[in-house]
Amino acid sequence: MRHFDVQIIGGAVLHDGSIAEMKTGEGKTLVSTLAAYLNALSGEGVHVVTVNDYLAQRDAEWMGRVHRFLGLSVGLIQRGMTPEQRRSNYGCDITYTNNSELGFDYLRDNLSASRDQLVMRWPKPFHFAILDEVDSVLIDEGRNPLLISGEASKEAARYPVAARVAELLTRVLHYKVELKDNSVELTEEGIVLAEMALETNDLWDENDPWARFVLNALKAKEFYRRDVQYMVRNGKALIINELTGRVEEKRRWSEGIHQAVEAKEGLKIQADSVVVAQITYQSLFKLYPKLSGMTGTAKTEEKEFLKMFQMPVIEVPTNMSNIRQDLPIQAFATARGKWEYVRAEIEYMFKLGRPVLVGTTSVENSEYLSDLLRETNIPHNVLNARPKYAAREAEIVAQAGRKNAITLSTNMAGRGTDIILGGNPKMLAKEILEDSLLSFLTQNVPDVDIDSGTSKKVLSKVNVGPSSLGLLAKTAILSKYVSKSESKSWTYDEARNMISESIEMSQSMESTELQKLIDEQTEIYPLGPSIALAYLSVLKDCESHCSNEGLEVKSLGGLHVIGTSLHESRRIDNQLRGRAGRQGDPGSTRFMVSLQDEMFQKFNFDTEWAIKLISRITNDEDIPIEGNAIVKQLMSLQINAEKYFFGIRKSLVEFDEVLEVQRKHVYDLRQLVLTGDSDGCSEHIFQYMQAVTAEIIFKNVDPTKHPSSWNLGKLLREFNGISGKISNDSFAGVTEEQMLQSLTQIDVLSSTDVYEFHLPNLPEPPNSFRGIRMKSSSLKRWLTICSDDSIKDGKFRSTVNLLCKYLGDFLIASYLDIIQESGYDSAYVKEIEREVLVKTLDCFWRDHLVNMNRLNSAVNVRSFGHRNPLEEYKIDGCRFFISMLSATRRVTVESLLRYWSSPMES
């Protein structure tokens, strides 16, 4: 492969930290090698991020050869890998991964208990990333935070009860629905009925909160439909990604929605969990000093990328001019009329022999259309989230450009396989190889339930030449022989992997080299090179066949794409359109919409106006109308929908920025403790002890007033409460009067020996500040105390500073003495300090996340009092965070002092 000139422009755009908009089929995968290689030369690691495991693996194998040839190492992150595998792959110069694996690895690293458990490159895990399908990751999935959950709460039994109550309530009378933002509001009648059914006096009672469960059950009833938002498999409700049409097995809806769906379907309720770590994709990718992306459709969202990520969208011209014909949108009054016209258009194209790709928005719609086509005996392939189809995804897409091929697919975003007119020769050759050899290599070929409407029987058979047939037969006999003579049996997956590895070998070696490899091992006829040789021969036949069929399909007009509804974003519709007319091929597209589509109801579109217009033109509701007036209305509706969702995302990002700053502080501190040296960890402990002492002091003193007005008794009690057994008897006996007398005797000018300082007539701190390191630590603390701007100045500020220094020294020096007396070696001491610090921080951060999520849910109510919810969230969030850090410091100090007072008991 050689880069086209336009691909080199694309590479430059990526290196510049911008978004390259390149149309479907323009070779984005090859473009990424340019910027990835260049930025990997610094040795700090480059991440190429795709939207799923299949694409990450494909790109790592396909493009990895380029990087390895140029002397760089290539890593791949896949689901199910061990921490050791992940660590070595993140250590490579270029790492291919998908967005969710990357996000979860980052969160898991920030939950790990020790340095050995980290898998990313700490302390700098992020350097440069190239995001494939950047709009899909940062905009479509940007709203869903990645969550890691901890221990379950005990409320699972409430969901089935709430589901039964939701069944009793009727729409309009008992509750109102807002489709636009998926919200439900109970009416007075609804509240009364729900309270009667649940035998409670108050749905919103804090001690017995039923309201959340009832509202979630109503949302599950109204907005979450089987085979649209989710599907049920093996007793589980699995989410269907509305943008890619794929099942997401590991994902669950948060805030009790998933449990409500499980209750609605009568499935086993998996208890609600407490969030222990969370991050949105926007926050995750902002951590990269340099970020770039590529997609076929981003220009419509350019403002959002500029505003939120400072990434301009640069349109890269196509290698060959686009000759695709976009036919006008057709609007129907009823859904029935729309589906009949879709079926008729498919039938017309099928008779012409043109391949057709139909985009639907849900599993339900794709199967409804499949039933319609089956009635008229039109052979077709279905591609949706059902496992029997999803497993054959690449194979179905490879066939979608062949003559007479009809493919019904849920959304095509991020499918990653080009639809080549005449068929994809590499995929076809692999299919022929598997059909010929799998039955010889393995006994357990799965009985795949393939749709009876498959178009395979209509597609012309690839004629394999005699030399290829001979090689296939020879390889089949050899497979049987190896299997019998060596008593070797492969599972179906192992056999498929072996064929894939042989194909990989064939792509890096010529047929003469393979033959030489076989000839050198005459006694042991090697299986891998034989399969590779057979593949090369079959591939030539497939290339010839696909080339001829491709010319025929082009002469018929190329691929015809039908969209069966408009999306909330023009970008998603453009992704579907982009499947036709790749690399200068002919093609056409047509969108058909009905006024009963969900989007029109969601955005309260004036369907009355449109129906009047249709009835003025024709009496038949099933007849479509075309024209500028209706197209203009539909476009303005889409633009309004885009603005509405942009507003939601902007608000989410602004709210998340508050947590983003806090998360960065906590995670940076955590990594510093885990990966820093042991002295650094001890330094943190000393800072914590000084900070806790300062907090106790400033709670009880006022620098503007004389020490006689200070609350010294409470100060001493609190300080002794913190230090416990560790403060020796001499200090425990200090009285309020002694302290006051000492403070009034201080001569500031003569008392500034930082190391030997103590208050007059009070016990001296143990002499622990020996050696250069301890002296510099003590000096740093003294400078920090003196330059603390957060404390208001007053006549007695210097007295307060000296009190802070004295009590801080006393606590730290006593701590160091008691550690020395315990007799443990320094490595063990540092390990205990590290563990206590990390565990305390984790515990309080977890509680803080719960509090911030509750605050986020509750703060919108304050808008009724004419207060800005975002400002309120920032103020309260900051207050929560400061108190969380204070509690962390205090509990860390208390735990360590308690531990070293009696290490054997602890």
Residues 595-623: tens digit of each pLDDT = 777 777 777 665 566 666 666 666 666 67
Residue 416 backbone class (left: φ over 0; alpha: ψ -120 to 50; beta: rest):
left
User: Do the first three CATH levels of 5-148+281-315 and 320-421+558-627 match, i.e. the same topology?
Assistant: yes
Residue 244, pLDDT above cutoff 70: no
Sort strands 46-50 and 236-240 into parallel, antiparallel or unpaired. Answer: unpaired
Residues 475-506: tens digit of each pLDDT = 888 777 777 766 667 777 777 788 888 887 77
Q: What is the pLDDT of residue 452?
A: 42
Out of 98-107, 227-236, 554-563, 595-604, least confident range: 595-604
- Tell me how far apart the alpha carbons of residues 515 and 529 are, in angstroms, rounded to a whole number: 8
Query: Is the entire prediction scored with pTM above 0.95?
Result: no
- Beta-carbon contacts of 397 under 8 Å, excluding residues fewer than 6 positions away, are 383, 407, 415, 417, 419, 424
- Tell me how far apart the alpha carbons of residues 742 and 598 are, in angstroms, rounded to a whole number: 78
Which pLDDT band, with edges at 50, 70 and 90, does 857 fall under?
confident
- Beta-carbon contacts of 850 under 8 Å, excluding residues fewer than 6 positions away, are 274, 275
- Tell me how far apart the alpha carbons of residues 538 and 436 are, in angstroms, rounded to a whole number: 11
Residue 750, pLDDT above cutoff 50: no
Out of 120-134, 196-210, 294-308, 561-575, least confident range: 196-210
CATH fold of the domain at 320-421+558-627 = Rossmann fold (3.40.50)
Per-residue tokens: 201: 């006096």
- Tell me how far apart the alpha carbons of residues 610 and 278 are, in angstroms, rounded to a whole number: 45
Q: What is the pLDDT of residue 388?
A: 66
Which of the pair, 301 or 888, is modelled with greater confidence?
A: 888
Which of the pair, 32 or 517, is modelled with greater confidence?
A: 32
Out of 195-204, 785-794, 831-840, least confident range: 785-794
Residue 194, pLDDT above cutoff 80: yes
Q: What is the pLDDT of residue 500?
A: 81
Which of the pair, 405 or 716, is modelled with greater confidence?
A: 405
- Tell me how far apart the alpha carbons of residues 540 and 570 are, in angstroms, rounded to a whole number: 40
CA dihedral 93, 98, 104, 109 (to 10 degrees): 0
Per-residue tokens: 840: 């305390």
Segments making up each domain of the chain, as ranges = 5-148+281-315, 154-270, 320-421+558-627, 425-550, 675-901
User: For the chain, what is the mean pLDDT?
Assistant: 82
Out of 77-81, 618-622, 642-646, least confident range: 618-622
Residue 453, pLDDT above cutoff 60: no
Q: What is the pLDDT of residue 31?
A: 94
The values of phi and psi at residue 142, to 5°, are -65, -25
Q: What is the pLDDT of residue 448?
A: 52
Out of 50-54, 511-515, 693-697, least confident range: 511-515
Residue 702, pLDDT above cutoff 50: yes
Mean pLDDT, residues 702-730: 77
Mean pLDDT, residues 823-844: 87
Which pLDDT band, with edges at 50, 70 and 90, does 798 fall under?
confident
CATH of 154-270, one of 3.90.1440.10, 3.40.50.300, 3.30.460.80, 3.30.450.20: 3.90.1440.10
**Residue matched to tokens 């004629």:** 463
DSSP string spanning 708-759? GGS-HHHHHHHHHHHHGGGS-HHHHT--HHHHHHHHHH--GGG---TTT---
Q: What is the pLDDT of residue 749?
A: 43
Residue 884, pLDDT above cutoff 80: yes
Strand intervals (E) in 308-405: 313-315, 325-326, 330-332, 356-360, 381-383
| CATH code linked to domain 5-148+281-315 | 3.40.50.300
Identify whether the C-beta of residue 296 lies closer than 8 Å to the C-beta of residue 574.
yes
Per-residue tokens: 102: 């990357």
Sort strands 236-240 and 230-233 into parallel, antiparallel or unpaired. Answer: antiparallel
Identify whether the C-beta of residue 292 lies closer than 8 Å to the C-beta of residue 130.
yes
The values of phi and psi at residue 813, to 5°, are -65, -40
Residue 263, pLDDT above cutoff 50: yes
- Of residues 766, 770, 759, the one with CA closest to residue 812: 766
Q: Within a 10 A sphere around the Cβ of 847, how many other Cβ atoms?
A: 14
Residues 390-415: tens digit of each pLDDT = 667 777 887 888 898 999 888 754 45
DSSP string spanning 845-905? HHHHHHHHHHHHHHGGGGGGGT--HHHHHHHHHHHHHHHHHHHHHHHHHHHHHHHHHSTTT
Q: Which CATH class is domain 675-901?
A: mainly alpha
Residue 217, pLDDT above cutoff 50: yes
Mean pLDDT, residues 732-750: 71
* Angle 75-77-83 from CA coordinates, rounded to 5°: 100
Mean pLDDT, residues 266-272: 78
Mean pLDDT, residues 859-871: 81
Per-residue tokens: 714: 């409470």
Q: What is the pLDDT of residue 351?
A: 92
* Angle 105-108-109 from CA coordinates, rounded to 5°: 85
